[in-house]
Amino acid sequence: MSSSSPKNYVLRIVKEEWCKQVFSTKRYFPGVPRRWNPGDMIFLVHKVGKTDSLIGYGIIGEFVEKEALPENERRVCEEMGWRGAIVFDELYRINPPVPVKDTVLSAVEAKGKYLHGYPLTDEQAESILRIVKAKASLKETG
């Protein structure tokens, strides 16, 4: 565990097939340049209908640099511009999804694709968790 306190981020998943992959493998391949540390919390956003919605969140267990990935995954990372794999210790699916506009994220300047990689304060993360837990049921995946 790093000496700095854990950070919180929003990551956006563009394709439905990638949503399924993230929840089935408990891995996310980010292209966003960040220092991904164990203990960091990631909120996953995906467009549901016409609305960006929170579909899950998880706690990072480790980040595997693309050079350390198996050849097939490393090749895909290079083709897609991804930096490696976030491996989740815990990953929760939010059901039903919670619209971003119903959370503190509605007040941030970043919208749509600009939410991808957006850093959150601990207060924002706690606020989102309170809303998610009030509005949805959570199911740990894997």
CATH code of residue 50? 3.10.590.10
Q: What's residue 5's pLDDT?
A: 60
pLDDT one digit per residue (tens) for the chain, 142 residues: 344 566 999 999 989 999 999 999 999 999 888 889 999 999 999 998 888 999 999 999 999 999 999 999 999 999 999 999 999 999 999 999 999 999 988 887 777 777 888 899 999 999 999 998 888 766 766 6
* 127 within domain boundaries: yes
* 58 within domain boundaries: yes
97 touches 54 (CB < 8 A): yes
* 76 within domain boundaries: yes
* 3 within domain boundaries: no
Kindly report whether the peptide bond that precedes residue 96 is cis, defined as omega within 30 degrees of 0.
yes
* 122 within domain boundaries: yes
Q: What's residue 1's pLDDT?
A: 39
pTM: 0.88
* 2 within domain boundaries: no
* 1 within domain boundaries: no
What is the total count of domains within the chain? Answer: 1
Secondary element (H or E) of residue 76 = helix 71-80
Look up residue 109 and give its amino acid. Answer: E
Q: What's residue 2's pLDDT?
A: 41
Q: Which range of residues forms the domain containing residue 117?
A: 8-140
